[in-house]
A and B are shown apart, each in its own frame.
Chain A
Amino acid sequence: MLNFKINLNEIDKIGKFSKEEKDFRLKNLNYFNNVGFPNKKQEDWKFSDLREIVSKNFSKLNIKSSEQEKSKINFIKDFEHNYIVVINGRLTVSDFRFEENDKIKLKSFTNNDFADRKENNPLINLNHALSDKGFFLEIEENYKFKKILVIYNLFTNDLNEIILNSKNKIKIGKNSELHTLNLIINQSEKNFFNNVYENVVLEKAAILKNICVQNNKSSGYFHKYSKHELSNASNLTTFIFPSGLKFNKLDLEFNLNGENCECNLQSASFLNKIDHQEIKTRVNHNSPNCKSYQKVKNVLDSESKGIYQGKIFVKDVAQKTDAYQLSKAILLSERSEFDSKPELEIYADDVKCSHGSSSGSLDKDSIYYLMTRGLSENESVELLVNGFLSEVIESIKSDSMKNFLKKKLADQLNGYKKN
């Protein structure tokens, strides 16, 4: 049984800090130690009992180890791109060969916000206490990226019973535009925990299109809290294509702070084996005339479990809000589980908010139809699942990206066998 308390001395092992920073870290570690890993008694974690998952799968959790800083990367050849390489959470190299380099600032992340806030999520406290790596990317005003930026997130094969805490920040200046592909590549076959705190800031009329892809299944346990701040007329699009992990929770917060901004989140997941995945969103409509759109699709096989908790909050001043939320799940196995908790909290009176959630098995008539055309049952299921999930890919404009993602999805579904 794992002891959930982390010794305060661990902070000194990470590095030397100013008194202010050390106090901040200590305070947060105390917050964490008081509650430990969250369990299902906490509303936000009712479908993901992390305490149970961690104690079942870890005998210890090291804070600091001498993990590798170098690793071989298979760079994508399907399209030209700029890149950043992040190994085990630490920024290593970058290449912005297609851009004007003076418009881009990239450095290792250093935290200078030591405000004492009560966080609802203990893993954020844990990150505040122990985070020692990450990157800060800033794009100047009025600059549109010419090519996509690929962020290669590598996890090396020597990771074992360790928890990595990192913080990333991306800030996009006024009228600037960035497209990113966040690619997570895991080479470790041992258990490790990755805890990320991310902050994304879009200034006036900035555009960010982000695609997040997990390249392969692994023994990683992933938690990411991502906070997005949107100013006037900014536009954020996020696509998420996870691979399915033993634990993967994405806790995403979108603050639509300026008028006329838009945020769009879409996700397509194929989960099997004992995958456990939760996508939790909170969209805060804090200003009038903003739009938000969410579509989350899951296909679940074997004993996998998928969760979608989506909350739309509309502040009293946020008139003419247009918010939409849809969750669709297909369960291929009687042992799989999907939990959905849509929530609307609305204080303005002139808004358009809708949500829908459906889950069920594959349509038998469709399977029959495909089989009368010579496809086996498994092939029919694979084709239908592919069709269901690739609908999300279809709404991406770039053809080369579409093909890249379709290949990834096909690989994931390849050789699908009904259990």
Chain B
Amino acid sequence: MLSIKNLSASINNKEILKGVNINIKPGELHAIMGPNGSGKSTLANVLSGREGYKVSGELKYQGKNLNEISIDERAQKGIFLAFQYPTEIPGVNTRNFLKTSFNKVRKAQGKKELDALSFLKILKEKSNELGMDEKMLSRQLNVGFSGGEKKKNEILQMKILEPNLVILDETDSGLDIDALKIVADGVNSSRNDKKSFLVITHYQRLLNFIKPDFVHVLADGKIVKSGTSELAIQLEKTGYKGIN
């Protein structure tokens, strides 16, 4: 699904990622943990195609070179990034935006665009699963949403767009335990043998609810240790300093 080889990325001449290697197969869920400033969010940004980074190394998604694909095309090809801090977009109605995005991705994948009525049915079903208030969907996109509402809105988009590769960038931050459970359930119910996940997180807490197949520790722009979910538990005990 995703193959990252010797990936380096710098911004304003500062090297953030210094040769990252990860290989994710279909159906796998990988967790990336690491201290502040280790490059976790940069990795998420680079995978989504955000401009401003100087990138070198190999970045392959479904066998294609990602470096040559624009942000929107990556989304259309099934890469989804759930933001750590979803952007507030005034004037844009959440429901209309979701429909536009949904049909845009469907069209690019050669599927039939859905009319408002059929889409609203899907939207209602998915938002109910996440326990979202429907009124929220009538509001402006992320504007005035609480931290929890913003994250739920990200997971809602993930469920609607049905991506092949999901990158969750610190989706657990700022969530209370109930919201965390709902978000985790949202992820778990989306897991199948075709879909892959890359879960970026600070804390082991999220991994109590979402069980990873592999855990990588990112420190100073490099993967310093990889292992199974046991590694996350060990980290919680020893801290990042204790792993070397």
User: Which A residues form the contact surface with B (CB < 8 A)?
Assistant: 363, 365-366, 368-377, 379, 383-384, 386-391
| CB <8 Å contact, B75 and A373 | yes
The answer to the question of B134 belonging to the interface, with a C-beta cut-off of 8 Å to chain A, is: no
Closest-by-CB residue of A relative to B105 is A374
Please, which residues of chain B bring their CB within 8 A of the CB of A376?
72
From 71 to 98 in chain B, residues with beta carbon under 8 angstroms from any chain A beta carbon are: 71-72, 74-76, 80-81, 83, 86-87, 89-92, 97
* Complexed CA–CA distance, A389 and B91 (Å): 8
A36 vs B87: C-alpha distance when bound (angstroms)? 52
Q: Which residues of the partner chain B approach A389 to less than 8 Å between Cβ atoms?
A: 91
Q: Known interface pairs A375-B100, A387-B92. Does A369 touch B86 (Cβ–Cβ under 8 Å)?
A: yes
For this complex, 26 residue pairs linking A to B, each with C-beta atoms less than 8 Å apart, are: A365-B87, A366-B87, A366-B89, A369-B83, A370-B101, A371-B49, A371-B72, A372-B48, A372-B49, A372-B74, A373-B97, A374-B72, A374-B105, A374-B108, A374-B161, A375-B72, A375-B104, A383-B92, A383-B97, A383-B100, A384-B92, A387-B90, A387-B91, A389-B91, A390-B91, A391-B91
Closest to A368 in B: B50
A211 vs chain B, min Cβ distance (A): 19
Task: Report the separation of the CA atoms of residues A383 and B99 in the bound assembly, to the nearest whole angstrom.
Answer: 13
Q: Which residue of B lies closest to A389 (CB)?
A: B91
In the docked arrangement, what's the CA distance between A363 and B91, Å? 13
Question: Does B127 reach chain A (CB closer than 8 Å)?
Answer: no
Q: Write the chain B residue with the least CB distance to A376.
A: B72
Write out the residue numbers on chain A whose beta carbons fall within 8 Å of the beta carbon of B164.
Answer: none
Contact partner of A374 among B50, B86, B104, B140, CB < 8 A? B104
A372 lies within 8 A of B91 (CB): no
Residues on B with beta carbons closer than 8 Å to the beta carbon of A379: 100, 104
For the complex, what is the distance from the CA of A387 to the CA of B143, rounded to whole Å?
12
How many whole Å from B24's CB to the nearest CB in chain A? 19
Give the shortest distance, in Å, between A112 (CB) and chain B (any CB). Answer: 47
- CB-CB < 8 A to B76: which residues of A? 374
Q: Is B157 an interface residue (CB 8 A)?
A: yes
The residue that A370 contacts in the complex, of B48, B89, B91, B140, with Cβ under 8 A, is B89
- Are B75 and A372 in touch, CB under 8 angstroms? yes
Residue from A375, A376, A386 having most chain B Cβ neighbours under 10 A:
A375
Interface centre among B71, B75, B90, B161 (most CB of A within 10 A): B71
Chain B residues numbered 156-209 whose CB sits less than 8 Å from any CB in chain A: 157, 161
- Complex Cα gap A375–B72 (Å): 6
* A384 and B89 alpha carbons, distance in the complex (Å): 8
Q: Find chain B residues with CB under 8 A from A386 CB.
A: 91-92
CB neighbours (8 Å) of A371 from chain B are 49, 70-72, 75
Q: How far is the CB of B119 from chain A (nearest CB, A)?
A: 14
- Structural contact, B71 and A387, CB atoms closer than 8 A: no
Hey, which chain B residues are within 8 Å of A374, CB to CB? 72, 75-76, 101, 104-105, 108, 161
Measured CB to CB, the closest approach of chain B to A381, in angstroms, equals 12
Residues of A within 8 A of B161 (CB): 373-374
Query: Which of A371, A376, A377 gathers most chain B CB within 10 Å?
Result: A371
Closest B residue, CB atoms, query A380: B72
User: Residues of B contacting A368 with CB < 8 Å?
Assistant: 50-51, 71, 87
Return the 7 tightest CB-CB contacts between A and B, nearest first: A387-B91, A374-B75, A371-B71, A373-B101, A369-B87, A387-B92, A374-B104
Residue of A nearest to B88 (CB): A366
Question: Smallest CB-CB separation from B101: which chain A residue?
Answer: A373
Contact B89 A387 (CB under 8 A): yes
Whole-angstrom distance between the Cβ of A379 and the nearest chain B Cβ: 7
Contact between A377 and B89, CB atoms less than 8 A apart: no
14 extra interface residue pairs, beta carbon distance < 8 Å, beyond A374-B108, A384-B89, A390-B91: A368-B50, A369-B86, A370-B89, A370-B97, A371-B49, A371-B70, A371-B75, A372-B72, A372-B75, A373-B161, A374-B101, A384-B92, A386-B92, A388-B91
